[in-house]
Amino acid sequence: MRDRIATVGGAALFGVLGCAAFIKAGSYTMGGANVFPQTVAAAMVVCAAGLVLTEVLRGGKPRAATEALEDGLDVVGPRMLWAILLSAIYVAVIPYLGLGTASFLLIAGGSWSLGLRRPVVVLAGAAIFALIVPWMFRHFLHIRPPAELLATIFAGG
C-alpha cells in the first residue's frame, strides 16, 4: 500500500510540475518559443495522469513483478549515466555535424545502445526526430541551426 501511495504522490507532483511548466511557457512571447516547452509539459501531465489512472484501476492488487522491478533498478544507474554522456556528446557535436545529423546519430545510437533492437523502429524514429527538431527550431523558435555537414559536403561547400 505504501508504494502505491508513493507512486500516486510522485505522479501527482510530476503532473503539478508539468502544469506549472505549461503555464510558465505560455508567457514566452517571442515567435512561438512556447510550443516546444508546452508540448513537453503537456506530455508530463498526460504521463502523470496515466500513471495515476493505472494505479487507481489496479486497485489493491499486489504487483507481481516487484522482484523483477527491483532487479531492473540495478541497471538504471549505468543507463542514466550513459544517457547523460550521450546528451553531452550530442550538444558538443551539433556545431560540427549540424542539428539534424547529430539528432539522427543521438537517437539511433542511443536507442540501439540502450537495448532497442528493432532496426526499422530505431531508424524511423531517428529520421523523424532529425527532421522535426531542426524544423521546429527554424519555424517556431526562429533560430537558425548550424549547417548540416553532409549537406555542405554534397553542395560543394
- Residue spans per domain, the chain: 1-63, 74-157
Do the Cβ atoms of 99 and 133 come closer than 8 Å?
Answer: yes
The pLDDT profile of the chain, 157 residues, written as one tens digit per residue, is 667 777 788 888 888 888 888 888 887 766 666 777 788 888 888 888 888 888 888 766 655 555 555 555 555 667 777 888 888 898 888 888 988 999 999 999 988 888 888 899 999 999 998 998 888 888 877 778 877 876 777 676 5
pTM, full prediction: 0.55
d(CA 126, CA 106) in angstroms, rounded, equals 8
d(CA 38, CA 22) in angstroms, rounded, equals 5
Q: Please name the residues in contact with 49: beta carbons below 8 A apart, sequence gap of 6 or more.
A: 11, 15
d(CA 35, CA 22) in angstroms, rounded, equals 10
Spatial CA neighbour of 137 closest among 32, 4, 3, 21: 32
Grid coordinates belonging to 100: 539534424
